[in-house]
Amino acid sequence: MELATTLMTGSLVLIFAATLLLCYLSVKYGKALLALYHVKVVDHVDTQLKQSFISTSSAQVITTTVITCAACVTGAFFLMGFFGLILGLIAGLSTPWVYHWLIKRKRRKEFVYQLPDALSSLAASMKGGGSLSKGLEMLAARQPKPLSQEFALLVAETRVGKDVEESLLDMKERLKCPELDLLNIAISVSRNVGGNLADTLEILADTLREKAQVEGKIDALTATGRAQGWVISLLPFGVGLALYYQEPEKMSALFHEPWGWLMLAVMSAMLTLAVWSIYKIVNIDV
């Protein structure tokens, strides 16, 4: 009895000391960590989104992050305990990166889809007697977003003395669009060597359309593989959730015991490897 009382008292003392230490570290380093996260993540994502002509603010990014973080932490904590608390916090704090990646990916797809028609319009403008600069201004004024926004920025940069080829390189870096390399090469060759740039742009537009058609056919043929990847990704979670409701006592050990955490880590690594392998197989670059 005395031993149990001593152990209980010692445990309470250790918990109290750990709580005090956690509070001290939170007060001492919490503000610094939040400031670092704000500078390295929130401000960076905010700047990148504004470069993509997406109106947002640091307050909106922070609000979205806090809401997502709270939802992830709450759900993961009820399912997995303390281990889930850590995973939920990591998932919530990564929200700005995920949002930024999805936005840039969508914007790039729209730009690539609009580029062949824009090049055809530019070629037609030059065949009608217009210059390259006038054709670029026409694209900025008449094409839909996001292509018109990007070329409007290019036109503004060229007006203050920046070279067209350099502006195209910057645009390629913003959008991660290798198709712009072909446009840059066509303009560079026409300037340095000579030739009919309008015909070159028309051929380039046809080439990009054919490339898009081939990519569409490949996407259709690999749709089954992508669906299998989604099934493989979600099936373990569905089975685990069903088993948790059927045998909660046995499954709870998987989330509250160290060996259970180890098994979850191994399963997560194997699942990630499987999904990555399927992605590499079905993601065919044209």
Q: What is the per-residue pLDDT across 184-201, written as a single tens digit (0 to 9) for each?
A: 888 888 877 777 888 888
Phi, psi of 247 (to 5 degrees): -130, 70
- Judge contact between 286 and 218, C-beta under 8 A: yes
**DSSP code of 38?**
I
pLDDT at 167: 81
Q: Which two tokens stand for residue 272?
A: 């990630």
Dihedral (CA of 32, 37, 42, 47) sign = positive
**Which residues have C-beta within 8 Å of that of residue 261, sequence separation ≥ 6?**
83, 255
pLDDT band of residue 11 (cuts 50, 70, 90) is low
CA distances from 32 to 2, 36, 40 (A): 45, 6, 12
Is the pLDDT confidence value at 279 over 70?
yes
Alpha carbon distance 76, 92 (integer Å) = 11
Stretch 219-239: mean pLDDT: 77
pLDDT band of residue 36 (cuts 50, 70, 90) is low
Is the pLDDT confidence value at 213 over 60?
yes
Stretch 58-69: mean pLDDT: 68
Alpha carbon distance 96, 244 (integer Å) = 31
Q: Which has the higher per-residue pLDDT, 169 or 84?
A: 169
Question: Measured in whole angstroms, how far is the alpha carbon of residue 72 from the centre of its chain?
Answer: 18
pLDDT at 222: 75
Alpha carbon distance 119, 112 (integer Å) = 11
Stretch 100-126: mean pLDDT: 83
pLDDT band of residue 175 (cuts 50, 70, 90) is confident
pTM for this model (two decimals): 0.65
Is the pLDDT confidence value at 7 over 60?
no
- Judge contact between 49 and 57, C-beta under 8 A: no
pLDDT at 57: 62
Q: Which has the higher per-residue pLDDT, 123 or 71?
A: 123
Stretch 242-269: mean pLDDT: 78
- Judge contact between 136 and 159, C-beta under 8 A: no
Largest CA distance in the chain: 100
pLDDT at 84: 62
Alpha carbon distance 242, 251 (integer Å) = 10
**Predicted confidence (pLDDT) per residue in 119-163, tens digit:** 888 888 888 777 778 888 888 888 888 888 888 888 888 888 888
Stretch 207-224: mean pLDDT: 80
pLDDT at 250: 75
Is the pLDDT confidence value at 234 over 70?
yes
